[in-house]
Amino acid sequence: MDEKDKKEIEEIFKYHVDVLIEDSKHRMGILSESFQHKLDIVVEGHQVLNGKIDRLQEGQTELTNRVDKLELSSLRLEQGQEKLEQGQEKLEQGQEKLEQRQEKLELRQEKLEQGQDNLEKRQGNLEGEVKKLRVELSAKIDSVGADLAAHRADTESHRGAYRVKEGKE
């Protein structure tokens, strides 16, 4: 092998190396573009995920606010329920007092009814006694009237000796 052959081999070698380098550069460019494209997709995915995370955080904040409002409403309801229960207890106590008063009034009413019955019996007895007394008094008045009439007749028959004056003279 001589110099010429060496040069020819060298030129072939250089040519192939240049082709390989060009091919490698071309492939590297393709790989770089592919990598850049994939990297862009990953970045875009991260941006989408960041947006979703932001929306989730906003939603979580909104839910937290709603939960706080519900807890406040629940607390108010519990306080209202406590007040209602206290009011109910007072009403029940008042009802018990009213029932006790009603029982006392019913006992008084029974006593009054018994007293009324006794008074009605006494009234009936008194009415009977009054009727008897009327009959007796009527008989006595009639008897006194008859005696008076007899006495007057007797007095008038003795006119000269006795004189009955009626009225003022």
Distance between CA atoms of residues 32 and 34, nearest Å: 5
CA-wise closest residue to 147 among 155, 135, 159, 157? 155
Q: 167 pLDDT exceeds 80?
A: no
The mean pLDDT value for 154-161 works out to 71
Amino acid at 154: D
pLDDT digits (tens, 9 = 90+) for 127-142: 999 999 999 999 999 9
User: Which of these ranges, 13-22, 37-46, 57-66, has the smallest mean pLDDT?
Assistant: 13-22
pLDDT digits (tens, 9 = 90+) for 51-96: 999 999 999 999 999 999 999 999 999 999 999 999 999 999 999 9
- Concatenate the DSSP letters of all residues of the chain into one string: --HHHHHHHHHHHHHHHHHHHHHHHHHHHHHHHHHHHHHHHHHHHHHHHHHHHHHHHHHHHHHHHHHHHHHHHHHHHHHHHHHHHHHHHHHHHHHHHHHHHHHHHHHHHHHHHHHHHHHHHHHHHHHHHHHHHHHHHHHHHHHHHHHHHHHHHHHHHTTTT-----S--
Q: 122 pLDDT exceeds 90?
A: yes
Percent of the chain topping pLDDT 70: 93
The mean pLDDT value for 37-61 works out to 93
Distance between CA atoms of residues 86 and 82, nearest Å: 6
Residue located via tokens 């989408």: 48
Distance between CA atoms of residues 119 and 113, nearest Å: 10
